[in-house]
Amino acid sequence: MQDPRISLDSTDRALLTELQRDAHATAQELSERLNLSASQIGRRRQRLEEAGLIVGYRARLDPARLGLDVQAFVQVQLARHGSDEGSSFTRLIGTRPEIVSAWTMTGEADYLLRVFCPDLPALNRLIHEVLLAHRSVSRVHSQIVMNQPKGDAPLPVG
């Protein structure tokens, strides 16, 4: 199996760090921060994109300003673990916009879901009418986020 990692020099790492801080930065702004020409920045960014290291650019939105006042982590345990059940559950969570990310896990829970809802009744409906209603789900455990002392941070590239 081929190693999916690519070789990065210190300039690549610095560029990736800057792009994670501000993906909207222009090549000129990045060139001033990294002491390279804008054309060098552009070539490096393009190479990192083509290599699949940079997989996209997104705007980070404020959930509270969107009326999404409840953030929760929901652990889901399946009763059956066949490929049909897993595929069916994966399709279900893909249709739900309030589920913003999902992971398959080792341990007691099979899935960990990060969800944003406008209020507790909406979270309750998601859990009872959607997740627990799925034929393969045997148990759901939710944890409501009270505060986030550290926000989603950039990946360590250094």
Q: Are residues 130 and 69 in the same domain?
A: yes
> Could you give the 3-state DSSP secondary structure of residue 14?
helix
Q: Are residues 41 and 99 in the same domain?
A: no
Instruction: Look at residue 82 and tell me whether its pLDDT is greater than 90.
Output: no
Find the domain containing 30 and state its range: 11-50
Average pLDDT value for residue range 92-107: 97
pLDDT at 6: 84
Instruction: Look at residue 68 and tell me whether its pLDDT is greater than 60.
Output: yes
- 125: confidence class by pLDDT, cuts 50, 70, 90: very high
Q: Are residues 137 and 98 in the same domain?
A: yes
Q: Which residue has the tokens 């926000």?
A: 151
Between CA 11 and CA 157 the distance in angstroms is: 11
Q: What does the pLDDT look like over 24-45, one tens digit per residue?
A: 999 999 999 999 999 999 999 9
Q: Are residues 101 and 74 in the same domain?
A: yes
Domain count, the chain: 2
Dihedral of CA 34/48/158/102: which sign? positive
Q: Are residues 74 and 134 in the same domain?
A: yes
Q: Are residues 93 and 40 in the same domain?
A: no
Vertex 21, ends 18 and 23: CA angle to 5°?
Answer: 80
Instruction: Look at residue 2 and tell me whether its pLDDT is greater than 80.
Output: no
Q: Are residues 78 and 127 in the same domain?
A: yes
Residue 69 belongs to domain with CATH number: 3.30.70.920
Between CA 26 and CA 85 the distance in angstroms is: 46
Residue type for position 98: E
